[in-house]
Structure 1
């Protein structure tokens, strides 16, 4: 597997989108602003740019100001605001110089690439290329264009773009950029499964880096090792993996250890493979722990910040009220004091409502953190089962699949909404892991109406999994033969709502209630958390979820259970 180049590409994109050396005669004010940007004093630069509009508000100056504001917002990570400013500049692009147009369309291309909207990113980088007059500008744009074209699987264009970029790097003697391009090419050839060209590109990149005394590239070494292992040169592939491991960060180590495990399996050295898998598992746990701790720290910081802001707001409100009371007592007496009382009442009511909404948002985050550990506990019971039976290969495969599921859960643990397609994939992964855990003849079905665009709508994250888990544990697991769970996504007559039915063929509602005292160990704590979370969703986003639970059939012994939810969705 390949290490992601996304971080490098984004950094290159931001760097290349900012042209700090003027190609045309600039006013003294913009020269000063360029110097501030180069010194990374973004706050002062933004203040000076904004003041220019108050001096003279014509279309020419407005286009230039919004272009610079877009640069500043992009550099400070405010993507949405940056895009809005660039669009304002684009409305008056006829007043911009060719160099400014290069910066404008390059900046928009970078924003779209960071948002993974690769098609629009390609359009804007190609537009920037039309205005580029210098080889240096063309090189910057081509590097970005090649990167997003590779992400968008534009295979025929990638090699052509990078070959043109390579010709410019040699002309300008930009050998450091040439090394980066060869690394990108190696990644592209890996995606195309062209192991020979991937190996050649990676070696060229490493040779250039070595001659320039550049730092070791973990990504390039990983790509070289991956190409060598897949082309049969396993021994050298393992050597390059180990060389990369010395300088790898935590996330890179996870991928390299996994690759080392796979390479040793391919070489038939299962003992070494198991050792690397143990290291992989350990490092992954450390990364997950740090990620979890960071999320808790972020929530705690947010909570403390909210508390401080509330105290400051209350102090400011109190000071204003005291000043007004003094003035109104002196000027108007009782009439104005009455007006002050009414104004103070409504202000305090507004503050209390805002505080409740902020606290509700924080509670929603805590509830999701409660739900995820509970899900992990239930799933890890199956890992214990395989280890107990001493089924090594099965347990390793299960852990591999389980790791993918946990990674997906953690990635969406702080999201309010998730694409329906991603939710379906998580449910499919979870039920696949349950196939051997429940019974050998356990089966499941996930079906989505063709009229539903699963990639284009989002629903509340981690909403359905507790119901599906309940259907498995309390429904299908209680049936001695042919246990089954179905998850059906259907359209509804209501606009922006879908119907989700979760059906099992187990004991049904009444029998479950009789046996509830004998099933305490498996009673889902997630259901209580889920009810609270549904209340929070309604409070924060005004999302009302209808829930209906009934027997699925009229069968007396195994009527099964049907859980039906009507869920509002939002467009992507």
Structure 2
């Protein structure tokens, strides 16, 4: 009886918290979220627990929306979608339209980050409908511009134009000055981007930018001006009006204190392009050099590539063939290889198939299982044929890549050499996985696990092909590839080991770029050799840390230790040699030294294993 009374008192005390106090608590957790995501998640879970006990749908939907937002920032996208879907249901019950709009918009953002454009668009449309019902013009304009972003990625030019026009028509009803400024800037930038291919959109880009300039000056929004001037300069360069373009670039530098590095870099390139149109080679070189200095400071490979492409186009137009050739070679060295794009398309279709099956409850997989039960030999033949086809596709891709490398000039840059070293790693990586599938497939008569394995393998192979064609990849992409590889190996070894992959909280994996597939060979050695013979309780720990301005990778296992591993000199020494060459090339180019060590950590009968530690440059993409 006392327990019941205590429970009732607890619920009443929770319900007596005013809405203002509750809202203040929600905002406090949002402020924690900007500093420490784990703490914010813990606190919102605690708050949510009390809210659910009280049965208050209104407060529950706010907590769920905040939790979904937190999970999104933690890149736990699948969990975020589940929680946000619950928030949408609760908001509908409570009639909380503002929070409902936020939850729907957040779901659109998650699907957009997953490059799943159709559901992203669907949720942005639903968001706009809720904002429309509330006469919330600020939210409605934001929704329209989110849809513009999706249509832009899909290259649906007519839809981009349609929704920009819808957003612009509502601008006068928007009270949020920053939202108005961002709308003018984003809309003008979209039109100028389209204008590179369809020049008739450049006038619209110019018109919206000029409106934005007037608005920013009227409301003293100086930080918005550089973006408008960049678009205007871009339009004039594309329309070959170099003197006007130079004037707009000068306006960017006059507002340098409020201009982003991106704006200053692009302004420098537009000035260089303008001088090239005026046939002033020295002026062009001066501003290209200025852009290059700023790009080196932000360490952006993307802008380096854009810079070299701009140089190539400018010098070619000026008739300076030698300078254009150098710029073109530099551009090609930085540009992602596109020779396997058609292959990627085939593998991407396979991956999309399995992802769609997963989201739809694996309906197609169940149908395949029925077909397999009807004809055992047919299904095995299909799977084997599938593997053979994928294998031939892989071999042909790498053969084409190898032939392409042989056709290059003898004196290659360090970037080309590093790509060749990566190509030596990929065949072992992929064919080892194929071998795992083969062994797994013929382990028994039940081929359903083999189908699941195939789905993971198809995704893994596409990721490996994609990553190995690049000189640098985001740390987020690298981590996803390693997680998928470890999941496949877990299945292969019947869950004989667990793994943990952690990243220093001070590191944003989306911003940091690394050479691809550096950790994989050491993880493979840990599983194949370090944990060999262990049927359970195996452990692989991968940590990515920030120390002294460098990125530190640590791969540790609790196996027998490297001092007790049976030597396999050809394989292991070659893997280490390749890795050291890659590390040496990176160090030479960046004028830095990076350490690398492999140590046996056993010091008694209970503690044993191997620890691999190596350094990489801390580079932002």
TM-score by length of 1: 0.46
TM-score by length of 2: 0.43
Q: Which has the higher contact order (CA 8 A, sep 6+)?
A: 1
Which of structures 1 and 2 has the bigger CA Rg? 1
